[in-house]
Amino acid sequence: MSDLTPLDHAHAAMQAAPTDDAARLRFYERLAASELFLMLAEDAGGGDQISPEIFEVAEARYVLVFDREERLAGFAGQTMPYVALSGRVLSGMLAGQRIGLGVNLDVAPSAILLPDSAVEWLHRTLGNQPDEVEARIAQVHAPKGLPEELITAIDSKLATAMGLAKCAYLVATTQETGAQGHMLGFVGAVPEAEAALARAAAEALTFSTVEAGAMDVGFFRASDPMTARMERVGLRFDLPQVQEAAPVAVTAPGLDPDKPPRLR
């Protein structure tokens, strides 16, 4: 079907392989990255508080989200107020509320009820951070033995980080203590974006099933000697660059990741 969404495809892959942890993680990764339309009980009115429509199923509470506006309208059968949020923001908003997610119910092949425990797990998982490099690195080498899933996950994450850094290199490292590992080194990162880039690296690591702690994160200037060393042996990822920057006013709830809307 030509109208299937990325979330539909990720859900289908998970359903086709119920014992495959990687497929399950890819579904949750897609859910976190997707723009979701949350059905509201009343119009938010441009404020910082929202009132989602809450449904009770088998003594559990759920809010309803859809990955297309027309899917929400098709489920409701009428015009309903809604707010657009990423799955990442939504999981943080619902954390601790004992509320699950009803995703695309009755309107798409990816229809699924996720209990509040799944929402809590997603929120905790998205909060994982890789360690930033503090120890001195003695040597860098070409990365070896990493699963293709991790390379693909890093590439996908960094493809959405427009203008946050010039590029990144994935390298194997040997520290002065003799400890070995891997590092994703960002070059020319916007200082205010370092936390967001570290989160992106953490999510790529987590959702690729690679054990936590297997990859460090570093930030370097183009003129740093380490950058030249990484360029010689590392796997390079070029981040998309902004052609024309224009200030954008945040006027709707959910658009500012540092100030998500609050449940009312």
> Is it the case that residue 214 has pLDDT exceeding 80?
no
261, part of any domain: no
DSSP assigned state of 239: P
Q: In the listed set 78, 93, 127, which residue is the last one of a domain according to the structure?
A: 127
32, part of any domain: yes
207, part of any domain: yes
CA-to-CA distance for 135 and 123, rounded, in angstroms?
A: 29
Taking only the tens place, the pLDDT of each residue in 116-157 is 999 999 888 887 655 555 557 889 999 988 888 889 889 988
What pLDDT does 146 receive?
84
177, part of any domain: yes
Q: How many of the other CB atoms lie within 10 Å of CB of 58?
A: 7
Q: In the listed set 94, 127, 160, which residue is the last one of a domain according to the structure?
A: 127
Q: Tell me, yes or no, whether 178 and 112 share the same domain.
A: no
57, part of any domain: yes
Q: Tell me, yes or no, whether 115 and 169 share the same domain.
A: no
Can you say whether residue 194 is alpha, beta or left, with left for phi > 0 and alpha for psi between -120 and 50 degrees?
alpha
Q: Tell me, yes or no, whether 12 and 79 share the same domain.
A: yes
The sign of the torsion formed by the CA atoms of 129, 132, 138, 139 equals positive
- The β-bridge partners of 82 are 39
Give the orientation angle of helix 148-158 with respect to helix 194-207, to 10 degrees.
Answer: 150
Q: Tell me, yes or no, whether 169 and 118 share the same domain.
A: no
Q: Tell me, yes or no, whether 86 and 184 share the same domain.
A: no
Contact by Cβ (8 Å): 256, 88: no
Q: Once rounded to an integer, what is the mean pLDDT over residues 37-60?
A: 84
Contact by Cβ (8 Å): 113, 10: no
> Is it the case that residue 248 has pLDDT exceeding 70?
no
259, part of any domain: no
> Is it the case that residue 11 has pLDDT exceeding 90?
yes
pLDDT band at 65 (very low <50, low <70, confident <90, very high): very high
Contact by Cβ (8 Å): 27, 209: no
Taking only the tens place, the pLDDT of each residue in 31-48 is 988 899 999 988 866 666
pTM: 0.63
Q: Tell me, yes or no, whether 97 and 177 share the same domain.
A: no
What pLDDT does 253 receive?
52
Tell me the residue range of the domain where 193 lies: 137-238
132, part of any domain: no
162, part of any domain: yes
Closest of 88, 85, 89, 93 to residue 65, by C-alpha: 85
Q: Look up residue 38 and give its amino acid.
A: L
> Is it the case that residue 1 has pLDDT exceeding 50?
no
> What is the count of structural domains for the chain?
2
CA-to-CA distance for 199 and 92, rounded, in angstroms?
A: 14
Residue 200: CATH number of its domain: 3.30.429
Q: Tell me, yes or no, whether 25 and 62 share the same domain.
A: yes
Q: Tell me, yes or no, whether 156 and 60 share the same domain.
A: no
Q: Tell me, yes or no, whether 40 and 116 share the same domain.
A: yes
* List of long-range contacts for 166-170, beta carbons under 8 Å, 24+ apart: 166/222, 166/238, 166/239, 166/241, 167/236, 167/237, 167/238, 167/239, 168/197, 168/236, 168/237, 168/239, 169/227, 169/230, 169/231, 169/234, 169/235, 169/236, 169/237, 170/143, 170/146, 170/234, 170/235, 170/237
Q: Tell me, yes or no, whether 41 and 144 share the same domain.
A: no
Q: Tell me, yes or no, whether 117 and 146 share the same domain.
A: no
Residue 51: CATH number of its domain: 3.40.1350.90
Q: Tell me, yes or no, whether 160 and 205 share the same domain.
A: yes
